[in-house]
Structure 1
């Protein structure tokens, strides 16, 4: 880096220290300091004491990024086309755009990477050290940070910044993007309004959180939402919403709050809906218990199909260490909801419901085919078997009845949605 930039950077940092401000939260004040320092440099250049700057405005922006932002990474974080930034080692910084990734020309030093990580964690209240070599945190801008300390990774710390890119806030916007058909969006909206349980399944970067956010926008304003996440990612535009996130243990090894604890506490907060950002471990048991008590909810899970999602809902409760008998967790998963395999690409629906004889699901859960019921032969006519029922207590006059939806046209579209008379 040119010596002039280092000198100007030091001058701006001196101004910040003298004023006692927090540069991460008072960016405009830092910008004024940078402008003042650059003007003073230009004045000195008139006498030939220093070399004039080629682009003073660009220098101001770079100084603000170094002092109040995240230095060389700030340009990528400000770029709306960039979805994720990660550092494998100081001279290998990657970015992802439009689903593909590329190696950038940015070259850092190990000291710069450590400084960036410390600044990113400053406002999160989370720590990274030998006793806790992994960290998940949320940046002030809403981006998600994940760091693995060197020693666990070979040679250098691994840093991932997943940007919070708002592409859609409502189901109608997903229709405009081509993610959903209009019929599918209407069906999902009706399912949310009717209080049905919804699990959003997909792989990494499949858009699960985006879909969950849009589903949350369909929750009626009279209801109360309580959400639990490992790191804040959900953004509900709702008047009565409480968001909670987990907390890692302190230096003494105490004070940790797991996602399972948050799910339990959410039940004591008079929720109308409970939302879990991502189910991946023992918290699945508490979520299923809550949903089977009649409390509507939504969650996401890593799975490649609706069938795999149901399998996960059966196996994850076993991680709770409880003495759960065979078949009990199958009942829980069955009661969670019966999505079917119609709404692609963002929603799939397994054909039918769990078989009543849980013995058939010892090694692999067996699903009944559409149109087949216990003790009856399969009907070859198209039927809407397995659609989740709307609880009688949640039926509102004039409200939607997605459990009575009709198929029309393609098998991947849904037709009319009847209402409660």
Structure 2
């Protein structure tokens, strides 16, 4: 018999906490905080135990206290300190096979709860389709996804919705992902066990040969996580929030 116990540290609650642990640079932290406040849809990717849930929680703690957030999880893991958070959790079926509440159902229900932001703890299967539909309705959101890189995360998010049924095809999914996802933050755990952000990319909204085009905004090297000098091609949300994106990225690349 095996017992699985998942514990998350309560010492890491904010992006500043991640900066102090060298998991994130101060410039990247400022960029992500501004992205969250601007209402960008953020995908956090990485392997198992790479720190995805911890990073997602830190991002959400940058949200304005006036926002109403709805979280949807298989089991409660996110630690969010915002004033108005409604957490919903899946329920397994009974021994008779009744009473199951799935992620797909919860995501649909969340849209009826006047959300300012929808968060899905992790997408693995067909619930990714419901999340994309929710994000495409104009409600900002975020989620985590297992992947080996930011590019793989976007590719996987274009594939998972196909599990929803044979009537769903790439002609609908790929453009939807391209238009919905604004930022992808990829996390890694290195050989020493340290969890760090390795890259931050921004999809351009375009695709070629079935793959989404994306601009790398921050990249980790031997000198740490630093700005590449490029800016997201889609900046309408930043403009609406009064964020001078060019100045923010330029300052981080110096």
Q: Which of residues 239, 243, 247 in structure 2 aligns to 1:400?
A: 243
Deviation at 1:389, TM superposition (A): 3.4
**Map of 1:257 onto structure 2:** 101
**Map of 1:197 onto structure 2:** 41
**Map of 1:348 onto structure 2:** 199
Q: Does 1:367 align with 2:218?
A: no
- Alignment partner of 1:406: what SS? helix
8 Å contact kept, 2:162–2:170: no
Query: What is the aligned length?
Result: 236
User: What CA deviation, in whole Å up to 9, does each residue of 1:68-125 have, x standing for no partner?
Assistant: xxxxxxxxxxxxxxxxxxxxxxxxxxxxxxxxxxxxxxxxxxxxxxxxxxxxxxxxxx
Q: Structure 2: how far apart are the matches of 1:310 and 1:262?
A: 23
8 Å contact kept, 1:282–1:317: yes
Determine which structure has the larger strand proportion and give its number: 2
Deviation at 1:179, TM superposition (A): 0.9
**Map of 1:386 onto structure 2:** 233
Q: Structure 1: how far apart are the matches of 2:215 and 2:42?
A: 21
Specify which structure has the bigger relative contact order, considering alpha-carbon pairs within 8 angstroms and separated by 6 or more residues: 2
**Map of 2:225 onto structure 1:** none
| Distance change in 2, residues 1:351/1:190 (3 Å) | closer
User: What CA deviation, in whole Å up to 9, does each residue of 1:23-76 have, x standing for no partner?
Assistant: xxxxxxxxxxxxxxxxxxxxxxxxxxxxxxxxxxxxxxxxxxxxxxxxxxxxxx
Deviation at 1:276, TM superposition (A): 0.4
TM-score calculated relative to the size of structure 2: 0.83
Query: Which protein has the larger Cα radius of gyration, Structure 1 or Structure 2?
Result: 1
Aligned-CA RMSD value: 2.7
**Map of 1:227 onto structure 2:** 71
- Alignment partner of 2:199: what SS? coil
| Distance change in 2, residues 1:275/1:351 (3 Å) | closer
Deviation at 1:177, TM superposition (A): 1.2
8 Å contact kept, 2:187–2:198: yes
Q: How does 1:212-291 map to 2 (within 5 A)?
A: 212-291=56-135
Deviation at 1:322, TM superposition (A): 5.2
- Alignment partner of 1:367: what SS? strand
- Alignment partner of 2:236: what SS? coil
User: What CA deviation, in whole Å up to 9, does each residue of 1:364-396 have, x standing for no partner?
Assistant: x253677xxxxxxxxxx964253553176xx34
**Map of 2:27 onto structure 1:** 183
Q: Structure 1: how far apart are the matches of 2:170 and 2:128?
A: 16
Q: Does 1:167 align with 2:167?
A: no
- Alignment partner of 1:222: what SS? coil
Tell me whether 331-340 or 284-293 shows the greater mean CA deviation.
Answer: 331-340
Q: Structure 2: how far apart are the matches of 1:180 and 1:206?
A: 13
Deviation at 1:348, TM superposition (A): 2.2
**Map of 1:321 onto structure 2:** 165
| Distance change in 2, residues 1:335/1:321 (3 Å) | same
Q: Structure 2: how far apart are the matches of 1:339 and 1:414?
A: 18
| Distance change in 2, residues 1:175/1:366 (3 Å) | closer
- Alignment partner of 1:270: what SS? coil
